[in-house]
Structure 1
Amino acid sequence: MLALGVVTVLAACTSTAKSTDDAKVRTDLEPLERRFAELGPLSGAHWLGTALGTDSRVSVPGPTDVRMVGTAQLRAGAVAAITGAPQRSFQPEKPVQLPEELAEFVPKSARWVRSDSFDRDMTGGTYSGAFYLDPGTDTVYFDTINPGISASSEP
C-alpha cells in the first residue's frame, strides 16, 4: 500500500506533458518592454514564454530556465537606426528553432539581419539571447533564455 502511495505522489510531481500555458501565444507588451527597453515602444507582439526542462520525469525541483521567443513591431524607422550604427556589424542571418505556434506571425518576406555586438548590448552579458531585425517591416524576432528586467525600465 505504501509503494502505491509513493508511485501516486511521484506521478503527480513529474509530468511528461508540457503545460498548456507554455504553448499559448501571448500578445501582452509589458513583459517585453520591461526586458527589451532598448528597442523602444513595441506593438503587435506575438510571443511564448516556455519553461525549459519541465517535460522530463527526472526533473529536480529548483530554478527553472525560461525561454522567451517571439516577434514584435518597433516604431517606424527604429530598425534602420539600430542597424545603421557604425560600431555594429549586422549580417544577414535567419532565425533558427522557430516554434510552430509563432510561424504565422513572422513576416514571410523578412530579410533578417543579426549582430553579435547588438546581442551583447541587449543582454548585457547576463543572459543568452539573439535578436534578428528586419528593416523592411521594422520587426524584431527575439529568442532568449532568462531575460532579466532592463535597468532602463526600472523606476
Structure 2
Amino acid sequence: MGGMAGLGRRGVLALGAVTLLAACTAHSKSAEGAKVRTDLEPLERRFAGLGPLSGARWLGIVLGTDSRGSIPGPTDVRLVGTAQLRAGAVAAITGASQQSFQSEVPTQIPEKLTEFVPKDARWVRSDSFDRDMTAGTYTGAFYLDPATDTVYFDTANPSVPAGSGP
C-alpha cells in the first residue's frame, strides 16, 4: 500500500510541474499580446531623471499572470523600451563624475522592440545611475547611447516618484 501513496504523490508533483510550465508559456504570450506604445507621459512621470523624451517605443508587459486568477495580489509589470533624450542629455548624464558608466549591451530585448533599438548603439550602463533612477523603489536597468541620445530601459513595476504632482 505504501508504494501506491508514493506514486500518487509523484503524480501530484508531475501535475504541479505541468501547471508551472503552462503558467510560463502564458507568461511569454503576454509579451506577444502587448502592443508597442508611443505615449510619453507615463515614461516621463516615472523616469523624470531623463528629462523630456521623444520617439518612445515601449511595452508594458504583465508578468506572471495566472489565467485562473487564483492568485490575488499585485501584478508585476515589466516596462521596457527605448526613447530619445534631448540632444546632449546622455553626454551630460554619463559625464557626471560620480556615475561610473561601463560598456554593457542590453539583453532580453523583446522581439517587438528590436527594430526600434539602434543597431550600432554603443550602450553604457551604471549601477549607481540605475539606483538614482529607481530610488530603490523598483528594479530597473537604463542603457544609454551618447551618440544617438537614446535610452533603453528595462524595469519592473516602475513607480511614479512621490511628490511629483498629479
TM-score (norm 2): 0.78
Q: Which has the larger radius of gyration?
A: 2
**Pair 59,93 (structure 1): closer, same or farther in 2 beyond 3 Å:** farther
Q: CA RMSD in A?
A: 2.3
Instruction: Note the alpha carbon deviations across 1:9-36, whole angstroms, 9 max, x for none.
Output: xxxxx99484588421000000000000
Shift in Å at residue 54 of structure 1?
A: 1.4
Residue correspondences, number:
142
Which structure dedicates a bigger proportion of its chain to helix? 2
Unaligned runs of 5+ in 2: 1-22
**1:101 counterpart = 2:134:** no
**1:153 counterpart = 2:164:** yes
Partner residue in 1 for 2:143:
132
**1:87 counterpart = 2:98:** yes
Give the 4+ runs in structure 1 shifted more than 6 A.
none
* CA distance in structure 2 between the aligned counterparts of 1:22 and 1:41, rounded to whole angstroms: 28
The worse-fitting range, judged by mean Cα deviation, of 64-73 and 15-24 is 15-24
Unaligned runs of 5+ in 1: 1-13
Instruction: Note the alpha carbon deviations across 1:37-56, whole angstroms, 9 max, x for none.
Output: 11000000000001100156
TM-score (norm 1): 0.84
Relative contact order, higher structure (CA 8 A, sep 6+): 1
* CA distance in structure 2 between the aligned counterparts of 1:72 and 1:130, rounded to whole angstroms: 14
Tell me if structure 1 keeps the 8 A contact 2:31–2:61. Answer: no
